[in-house]
Amino acid sequence: MVNLEGKVALVTGSTSGIGLGIARKLAAQGASVMLNGFGDAEGPLALVREACTRPSQKVLHHGADMGKAAEIEAMMRFTVDALGPVDVLVNNAGIQHVAPVEEFSPEKWDQILAINLSSTFHTTRLALPSMRARNWGRIVNVASVHGLVASAQKAAYVAAKHGVIGFTKVTALETARTGVTCNAICPGWVLTPLVQKQVEARAAAQQTTLDDARLGLLSEKQPSAEFVTPEELADLVLFLCSDAGRQIRGAAWNMDGGWTAQCSLRSPAAARLRSSVVGCSPYFEYGCAPLPSPEAFARRAAPLLYGARWPRGW
């Protein structure tokens, strides 16, 4: 798909999930790869080395904490010394924490902002000078559908991912007359350890099986009712790295099984409520009919959709 022979790729948060999938595909196209992330590094190193196609390729790991600027600086120096200047930068490291705003711990807020957003600024500011000097580079920021729309209980994550998309646009504008591009990709649900934790929490809260919890999670938000895979996202990254991606700049490209194509009132939950909403035609489900009056919505549908948390009034 794209020849990355002789190129150097750095993928943050690549000891697991989406990052590992992206690192493997970059290696399969000929890039030397710097992995980053916590936990066992030997397994991921072996998997990415296995994907390499040329003897000259190198695959290494640096365990920098992406929440700490000094460690990110050390990782960037280590990468240049060991592999050469970074050509492909994939900002992927991310964590999640779920709680209502008033119960959200300030420490978790700071941590999520640092890892999910500020790390992207630090790696980019450090990689850009050499990309500009060689007039070629690809920066791909793994945002989320939560960079485009919100979900309750994910204040820090949603704020950080919206920030990533804003930062992506600024970087794309500042590099618009160069061979460096910067884009964000916005996955919907991908069944990685990050989401598995949410599946398990849901199964426990609802006293249901893991299969039912997975299906419940999907059917609430993702119309395809299928998870996006790391491999599919990695192919999107390869496309953005290709010559065909040269004029894609500042995009927030969703791969979300239709999640962001729908308005929230067309979600399956809203569809189930259709019959209980005063004044709604069958077309309500498809967003073709006028919405019910605010009074009708607040009286009948909103408490069912949002429970006791529904704020009275609009």
Interface residues with ligand NAD (CB under 6 A) are 13-19, 36-39, 65-67, 92-95, 115-116, 142, 144, 187, 189-190, 192-195
Cβ at position 1, least distance to ligand NAD in Å = 21
Cβ at position 91, least distance to ligand NAD in Å = 8
- Residue whose CB is less far from ligand NAD, 57 or 119: 119
List b or e across 185-220, with b for residues whose CB sees 16 or more CB atoms inside 10 angstroms: bbbbbbbbeebeebbeebbeeeeeeeeebbeebbee
Pairing state between β 180-187 and 137-142: parallel
Catalytic residue (choose from 157, 283, 286, 306): 157
Cβ at position 221, least distance to ligand NAD in Å = 10
Do residues 312 and 294 make contact, with C-beta atoms less than 8 angstroms apart?
no
Q: Is 157 a catalytic residue?
A: yes
Cβ at position 174, least distance to ligand NAD in Å = 23
- Residue whose CB is less far from ligand NAD, 13 or 137: 13
Beta-ladder partners of 61: 35
Contacts of 160 (CB under 8 A, 6+ apart): 94, 112, 113, 116, 117
Do residues 265 and 280 make contact, with C-beta atoms less than 8 angstroms apart?
no
Do residues 285 and 273 make contact, with C-beta atoms less than 8 angstroms apart?
no
Cβ at position 224, least distance to ligand NAD in Å = 13
- Residue whose CB is less far from ligand NAD, 66 or 86: 66
What's the rounded Cα separation, in Å, for the pair 234 and 21? Answer: 6
- Residue whose CB is less far from ligand NAD, 32 or 144: 144
- Residue whose CB is less far from ligand NAD, 144 or 171: 144
Continuous H helices in 135-223: 155-174, 193-206, 210-221
- Residue whose CB is less far from ligand NAD, 183 or 285: 183
Give all strands of the β-sheet with 180-187 in edge-to-edge order. Answer: 59-62, 32-36, 8-11, 88-91, 137-142, 180-187, 252-255
Phi, then psi, of 300 in degrees rounded to 5: -105, -50
What's the rounded Cα separation, in Å, for the pair 153 and 147? Answer: 15
For the chain, the straight-line distance linking the first and the last C-alpha, in angstroms and rounded, comes to 50
Cβ at position 63, least distance to ligand NAD in Å = 8
Active site residues: 157
